[in-house]
Amino acid sequence: MIGIQKTGWVGVDVGTSTVKLAQLTRSKKGLRVTGLAIVPRRVAWPIAELAELNPLSSADEMCAAVSLHPSFRGKQAAATFPMAICGVHTLDRPSGGEIESHQVRGAIEMATQRSAEGLQFDVWDAEPEEENGIAKKLNILTVATRWSDQLFDDLTESGWSCQTIDGLPLSLARAVALVEPADSTVPTAALDWGFAKATLCVVVEGRPVYVRNLKNCGLHRLIDRLVEELGVTREESQRLLQEYGLGGSASSTSSPAGKLVEEIIAEPLARLADEIRRTFSHLQFQRRSILPESLYLFGGGATIRGLAGHLAQDLETKVETWQLGEEQPALLDTPEMPSCLFGPAIALSALAWEKP
C-alpha cells in the first residue's frame, strides 16, 4: 500500500429529509469507515413541487456535519442527488458507434416531449451482454443544471473540492459491489427506500442495468400515516418503525403498540411489495437475463424492524439489509447509525480508488 492514497473522499448523500456523509480508509485489512454523519433538515423538502422549484441548498447541513463531526479528513468530496429531482430513461441506442451528446439530448426530448436544454445527464449501458461490444439499450439519468450547480456551490461553501457528482443508481451499484464477490455475474437488486422515492436497481457486474422509481412508494407515506393516525411527529414515527415495525406479529408476546404500528403501515407496505413484484414479473418475461436472485435494502425504509424477513417471505426472494462489513467502528451499525443508511455515501467515498 506504500504510495497509495489511504483516505477516501468524503461521500455526501443529499436527500430530501437528511444529508448523510461517510468517509473510508483502506489498508491491507480492507476498507474501514472512519467518518460518519447524518444531519436532518429542519424542514423536509416539499416532494410534490420539488422539480419545479428553484434549487434548494444543503450547505447548512454540510457545515453542521463538519462542525459536529470533525473526523472527516481531506478536502476532496463526491456527492449524489435525491432521485426526486432526477429523471431516468431507458432508450434504444442511436445508430452508429460512439454516442454523441446531441444524440442523447435528442433521445431525451423524444422520450419526454420537452426540451433537454438546461439538463445535465449521465449515460451507461443498460445490458450486461453487448453485441459486437456495443449495448443496444442505454440508461440515461438527468438532472437540471441549476441543481448540479447548487450542489457544487454547497460543497465549496462547506470547504470541500467537488471531484464528481454521481447518480444514485451508480452509487447503489458501487455499494453492492463492495459486499459482493468481485467475480460475481449474478443479477442483484438494490432498493433505496428513501423519504421521497423508492428506487429499485438491478446490478450486474457493478453496473445498474435497470433502474425504476417505484410509483407512490416513498417512505413518507408510511411516516405520514403514523403521524395522522397516532398524532406523533415524523421523528417519533421513524423511531416507532425502528422499534416496532413488522415485529408486532412475530410472537405471542408482541406488544399492542407493535401490532398497532404494523396494522397502520400494512397498506403502504403492501403497495411497495406489489411494485417490486410487478417489476420482477416484467423482468422475468422481458429481460430474463437480469432477473435478480437477491435484494439488498438501503435507506430509511431499510431500518424498519423486520422488513427484510417480511419482503423475503412475500417476494420469495433472498432479502438482506445492506451492511458493509463486520469489523467496523462501534458507531456504525448502531440503531442511530445503521450501515444501510450510508450505503451510497460509503460508495461515493470509495470513488477515490476507482480507476478513471
DSSP letters of 63-130?
HHHHHH-TT--SSEEEEE--GGGEEEEEEEPPSSSSPPHHHHHHHHHHHHSS--TTEEEEEEES-SS-
Q: Which residues lie below 8 Å from residue 233, measured CB to CB, with a gap of 6+? A: 227
Q: Is 303 helix (H, G, I), strand (E, B) or coil?
A: helix
* pLDDT given for residue 333 in this prediction: 64
Phi-psi label, residue 316: left if phi above 0, alpha if psi -120 to 50, beta otherwise: left
* pLDDT given for residue 150 in this prediction: 96
- Give the integer Cα–Cα distance in Å for 244 and 254: 9
Alpha carbon distances (Å) from 100 to 95, 104, 262 = 11, 7, 50
* pLDDT given for residue 251 in this prediction: 46
User: Rounded to a whole number, what is the distance in angstroms from the first to the last CA of the chain?
Assistant: 19
* pLDDT given for residue 97 in this prediction: 63
* pLDDT given for residue 99 in this prediction: 78
User: Which residue do the cell numbers 454523441 mark?
Assistant: 100
* pLDDT given for residue 157 in this prediction: 95
Output phi, psi for 102, to 5 deg: -65, -30
Going by C-alpha positions, the residue among 153, 187, 210, 134 that lies closest to residue 318 is 187
Q: CATH second-level architecture of 7-221+266-353?
A: 2-Layer Sandwich (3.30)
* pLDDT given for residue 250 in this prediction: 47
One digit per residue, the tens of pLDDT, for the chain of length 356 reads 344 568 999 999 999 999 999 999 988 878 889 899 999 999 999 988 887 788 999 999 999 998 888 889 999 999 999 999 999 998 887 766 677 888 888 888 888 888 888 899 999 988 776 655 666 788 999 999 999 999 999 999 999 999 999 999 999 999 999 999 888 889 999 999 999 999 999 999 999 999 999 999 999 999 999 999 999 999 999 999 998 888 654 444 467 888 899 999 999 999 999 999 999 999 999 999 999 999 999 999 999 999 999 999 999 999 999 998 765 666 666 667 889 999 999 999 999 998 66
CB environment 56-82: b (16+ within 10 A), e (fewer) = eebbebbeebbeebeebeeebbbbbbb
User: Which residue do the cell numbers 467496523 mark?
Assistant: 328
Residue ranges per structural domain of the chain: 7-221+266-353
* Cell numbers found for residue 308: 427484510
